[in-house]
Chains A and B, each alone.
Chain A
Amino acid sequence: MRETPVLPKVGQERYATPFYEGLEEGVIRIQECAACSKRQHFPRPWCQYCASEETTWVECSGRGVVYSYTVPHRVVEAQEFEDQLPYVVAIIELDEGPRIISNIVGCSVDEVDVDMRVGARFDGPAAGKPLVWFEPVAVR
């Protein structure tokens, strides 16, 4: 991805502010329920498991694995991304538990695979914006 054609509407869901501020600062924050300890992503107004409104925010390492991915070759709904084709939309399984949808950058689309280890990056075109991208990292 060479640009960020669409940004989230960050003001729309106030309970998600810590998440978006985190991305702008360079960290992924995930909701963890204070009552039942489960974690969820995307941010919600209460815990989707037990309905508690007592949530805390876990700061994630940014590390995870590719659970699945796709490489769009045509724009169907998000026409703003036409100039970015082809790119990778992936579901990344964070080490901290939940999964997040994002883009894989820093490699060719052919190098992406299921179970590939990835790490978050906050530099480049997404820097300072409420977005996160991931890149392949060496397996330790």
Chain B
Amino acid sequence: MPFEDVAIVEIAESEKSRGNLDRGDPYQSLEKYHQQMAREILDSVELEKDDIDGYGMVSPGASTPLVYPPMLVETLGFEDLEWLGTTREGGASAVSLLEKAALAIEGGVANTVLCTIADLPIDPYRDTESGYAWDRDQRGFARNHQLPYGSQGPNSKIAHATRRHMAEFGTTEDQLGEIAITQRHHATLNPLAFFDEEIDMDDYRSSPIIASPHRLLDCVMRVNGACGFLLTRRDLASDLVDTPIFIEGHGNSINPQVTERPDITRTGLVEAGQDAFERADLQPAAVDFLQLYDDYPIVVLMQLEDLGYCEKGEGGTFVEQTTLRYDGDLPVNTGGGQLSCGQPGLASGAIQLLEGVRQLKQQGGRRQVPGAQSGVVTGTGGIGYAQNLQSFYSIVLTNPEGHNA
């Protein structure tokens, strides 16, 4: 199996900020965020900077110089690394990076790989006329076949999937609201979540339309922030932590639908999720939680269908009938997800990954899934032309109790 000699040993996550200096919001540069994650992880496992021989990061949405990964390595002072990895797949970047870092260890290229992911969607020092946080695509189908028709970012692009799912299957606003409300409840139990107030269905139904049918409470809010994780060889892991976490199975699908009429209600997890469960030798019903990439409630709902928890089109009924709370039938996004933690730019997918690791380490605090031993983490990202997302990653994580020897 591709990752059997690897363990995730530690994680770190920063506070989230809206980066408004006038309001006194906390501000850190990208480099400081990376250093903060490195510092917290190294201190926690009592390693020195020079014990790291591999480093991974995600190409941020914030504008960076052409050869930024080595620049960051130089700024942080990691010397003579054997491996440097970067991913650039939108929200899928974090899980994609995890897999690639794990492959570096599995393949014997590096022993101990530190990954830090940071982004500044709101950069008060950014020099642009437009004020966009991120450089707009200057070429390709995004520039020439979406922008001239006023496509307004992911809010309007994924709205196409929501609308189609409603039209084709009768999925309702209230059913999608259940996802947003449950995740917000989880966030009230998560000190690292940006939002800390409960919402109810009245709040959800009355929040303003952003791009129909998406309302404000359907849309993630961009925040500045950072995440980090440390991987090492499985035989070195127990020297560092009591509870190493294992990648028991994986399934990936990048660009799942090459066809004249792709189904916008279907994700790459139909194939990738099945692969992950098979490789982990676990049935969907047997895992203890799901940390599902959640830029919008419809994306969570489609993943529930495509991972096999219900038939395609029945996701709405499923979420009505299934308690998604951390102490319920099927815990989903137990930390609040990005919908309630905030979306820290291209570090977004790490929100799900870190919460999965945290739960397996029994560090979920007031939202701990009782006796969690295994869980699924997904990363999805990039938006296609008249499609939903482009890259799909799913991994099954276990702790030693849940690990199949």
Contact = CB atoms under 8 A, between A and B. Distances in A.
Contacts of B152: 72, 74-78, 81, 89
A122 interface: no
A73 B212 contact: yes
A89 B214 CA distance: 14
Interface in B282-326: none
A37 to B, nearest CB: 11
A101 interface: yes
Nearest to B264: A68
Given A48-B258, A89-B156, A114-B163, A73 B208 contact: yes
A70 B261 contact: no
Contact of B261 (A7, A78, A99): A99
B164 A68 contact: yes
A89 B149 contact: yes
Contacts of A48: 258
Contact of A91 (B155, B211, B264): B264
Interface in A1-21: 1, 4-10, 12-13, 16
B151 interface: yes
Contacts of A10: 144
A77 B139 CA distance: 15
Interface string B132-155: 100010010101111111111101
Interface string B153-174: 1011001110110011000000
B141 A7 contact: no
B260 interface: yes
B209 interface: yes
Nearest to B215: A73
B125 to A, nearest CB: 20
B385 A42 contact: yes
B76 interface: no
Contacts of B153: 76-78
A13 B213 CA distance: 34
A102 B144 CA distance: 11
A79 B130 CA distance: 8
A57 interface: no
Interface residues of A, number: 47
A55 interface: no
A46 interface: no
B45 interface: no
Contacts of B81: none
B218 to A, nearest CB: 12
Nearest to B130: A79
Contacts of B130: 79
Given A91-B386, A98-B260, A7 B150 contact: no
A89 B151 contact: yes
- Identify which of A48, A72, A79, A81 gathers the most chain B CB atoms within 10 Å of its CB: A72
B330 interface: no
Interface in A44-83: 48-49, 67-79, 81
Contact of B167 (A68, A70, A81, A101): A68
Given A89-B151, A99-B261, A114-B163, A8 B145 contact: yes
B210 interface: yes
B256 to A, nearest CB: 13
B261 A93 contact: yes
A8 B261 contact: no
B260 A97 contact: yes
Contact of A67 (B164, B212, B385): B164
A39 B144 CA distance: 19
Contacts of A1: 150
Interface string A83-118: 010010101010001111111000000000111000
A98 to B, nearest CB: 5
A67 B264 CA distance: 9
Interface in B193-251: 208-214
A120 interface: no
Given A1-B150, A38-B260, A77 B163 contact: no
A27 interface: no
B189 to A, nearest CB: 30
12 contacts: A8-B143, A10-B144, A12-B144, A42-B145, A68-B161, A74-B210, A76-B155, A84-B150, A89-B149, A97-B260, A113-B167, A114-B167
Interface of B: 130, 132, 136, 139, 141, 143-153, 155-156, 159-161, 163-164, 167-168, 208-214, 258, 260-261, 264, 385-386
Given A70-B160, A70-B214, A101-B149, 13 more contacts: A6-B148, A9-B143, A40-B260, A42-B144, A67-B164, A70-B212, A71-B211, A72-B150, A79-B130, A89-B151, A100-B386, A101-B146, A103-B149
Q: Which 5 residue pairs are nearest across A and B when measured between Cβ atoms? A: A70-B159, A114-B167, A8-B144, A77-B153, A81-B150
